[in-house]
Amino acid sequence: MNPVAAAEGERAGERIQKVLARAGLASRREAERWLAEGRITVNGQVVTQPGTRVDAQTDHIKVDGQRVRGAGRRVYYLLNKPDGYVTTVRDPQGRPVVMDLMAGVRERVFPVGRLDYHTTGLILLTNDGDLAELLLRPASACPKVYHAKVKGTPTPAALKSLSKGIVIDGKKTLPCRIRLLRDQNATWVEVTLTEGRRNQIRRMFQMMGHPVAKLRRVSIGPISDRGLPPGRYRALSEAELRRLREALS
């Protein structure tokens, strides 16, 4: 079957992003990046067009030369990411990736969203592409809470301005919640976001003259775990997964 024809919508099937997500390989957004990078083939031909329609039962779909198969059992893990790890499955620069920390997980999982290289804290990994898509889509507005150590002490006016939204790269950030945390040795702030623009918190406070020295994510929607050590992971409980699904519905 000709993937070029599929890209033009000339046959039945499913969008390739959906097939890859259901197979537990990536969110649909991540699959689009793979397409752009030329990492996906259909019946031996490289496919780069988002929306290409394929038949998962009859087409030979490969990512990085590996045949795409069903995901099997759905699994959900919470990882406390340490500093110095890239939140991807692989890194062209050869830096450590979060998958290096998932020893013992037999299923093929992927991180949902990203934390910056030097940002620490909680991240979900799963092979459930549908759940990942729900978490990543802007309409879900899933709140994520961060603790940031900043230089100096922001004024109430500065915090109010940030909470209302400021313009970054020509686009205003969404309103967020910000509050000072008590710490006699440093200034920490708690920031609750419902969007995830690249380096957003670091750039917000940099623009206010209070650079971020440390940044960690402490919760994703209803999921948190202050006792999970850096570099360690655990499976989500049924109750946690239920609360997460309810929060996204």
Q: Is the pLDDT of residue 6 over 90?
A: no
- Contact partners, residue 200, CB within 8 Å, separation at least 6: 168, 173, 193
**pLDDT tens column, 21-36:** 777 777 788 888 889 9
- Contact partners, residue 5, CB within 8 Å, separation at least 6: 11
Q: What pLDDT was estimated at residue 7?
A: 42
Using alpha carbons, list the distances in angstroms from residue 141 to 22, 53, 194: 22, 29, 5
To 5 degrees, how large is the angle CA 86–CA 77–CA 132? Answer: 75
**Torsion 42-47-49-50 (CA) sign:** positive
Q: Is the pLDDT of residue 231 over 70?
A: yes
Q: What pLDDT was estimated at residue 99?
A: 94
**pLDDT tens column, 148-189:** 999 999 999 999 999 999 999 999 999 999 999 977 788 999
Structure tokens that stand for 213 in this block: 């020295």
Long-range contacts of 161-166 (CB under 8 A, 24+ apart): 161/208, 162/204, 162/205, 162/208, 166/204, 166/207
Using alpha carbons, list the distances in angstroms from residue 219 to 86, 121, 158, 184: 19, 8, 24, 24
To 5 degrees, how large is the angle CA 222–CA 224–CA 230? Answer: 155
Percent of the residues in the chain that have a pLDDT greater than 70, as a whole number: 93
Q: Is the pLDDT of residue 71 over 80?
A: no
**pLDDT tens column, 184-210:** 788 999 999 998 888 999 999 999 999
- Catalytic-role residue among 116, 128, 169, 225: 116
Could you give the domains of the chain?
3-67 (3.10.290.10), 76-138+231-248 (3.30.70.580), 143-220 (3.30.70.1560)
Q: Is the pLDDT of residue 8 over 70?
A: no
In angstroms, the CA 221 to CA 79 distance is 15
Contact between 195 and 138 (Cβ < 8 Å): yes
Select the more confidently predicted residue: 17 or 81.
Answer: 81
Q: Is the pLDDT of residue 133 over 60?
A: yes
Q: What pLDDT was estimated at residue 230?
A: 97
In angstroms, the CA 4 to CA 53 distance is 9
Q: Is the pLDDT of residue 4 over 70?
A: no
**pLDDT tens column, 75-128:** 999 999 999 999 988 888 999 999 999 998 988 889 998 999 999 999 999 988
Q: What band does 12 get if pLDDT is binned at 50, 70 and 90?
A: low
Structure tokens that stand for 117 in this block: 């290289």
- Contact partners, residue 171, CB within 8 Å, separation at least 6: none
Q: Please confirm, yes or no, whether 83 is among the known catalytic residues.
A: no
pTM above 0.75, yes or no: yes
Contact between 123 and 132 (Cβ < 8 Å): no
**Torsion 203-160-134-101 (CA) sign:** positive
Q: What band does 144 get if pLDDT is binned at 50, 70 and 90?
A: very high
Find which of 13-17, 59-63, 92-96 is predicted with most confidence, using mean pLDDT.
Answer: 92-96
